[in-house]
Amino acid sequence: MQIRELSVPDSYEITPKQFADDRGVFLEWYRFDKLEEVIGHPLDLRQANTSVSQRGVVRGIHYADVPPGQGKYVTVTHGAGIDFVVDIRAGSPTFGQWDSVILDTVDRRAVYVAEGLGHAFIALTDDATLTYLVSDVYKPGAEHDINVLDPEIGLEFPPELGNLVLSPKDKIAPTLAERLADGSLPSYAAVTEYYEANRKERN
């Protein structure tokens, strides 16, 4: 597999090698050792999630308190979508910037999102099935959101999708500026310290 760092540091695009024949296709969509070589520690798998979305559904931008945060390894097992990673770490040199990867059943890519980064997804097809491994269980009190339509962030969605579908909670989520003002964003310094401590603990 090939692993490429995205323009948002500490997030990566993973492209697996596929083996196709007249029976179908085989691939390794996750290799803990290959990911560990890049991020410096293994993904401490605590939970696995699946969401199924209709075309035009947007989920996000979501993030969790650090520590412990919630590292994510995300892929699509049916249909297609665009996965977005947003740097919401207050004080980061790339604060407010984002990158995206098309996830589908053609290239079968995955995305790794480190703790402290924001994550969003838009379905390009009906029944787009997003499957992801996470480093901690869901903790309602530690989970937060940012408005996915915040113009300051400026995520770009395909215009042909028309009206986007958001959950009631995501529709009223605060902007990035509001989250920065209320002090609920992860600190870049604290998150970086957490990354380094995690690497030392594992090595």
Active site residues: 62, 132
Q: How buried is 89 (Cβ within 10 angstroms: 0-12 exposed, 13-18 middle, 19+ buried)?
A: buried
Write the burial class of residue 163 (CB in 10 Å: 0-12 exposed, 13-18 middle, 19+ buried): exposed
Report the alpha-carbon distance of residue 165 to residue 177 in Å, rounded.
23
Report the SS3 class of residue 43. coil
65: Cβ contacts below 8 Å, ≥ 6 apart: 142, 144, 186
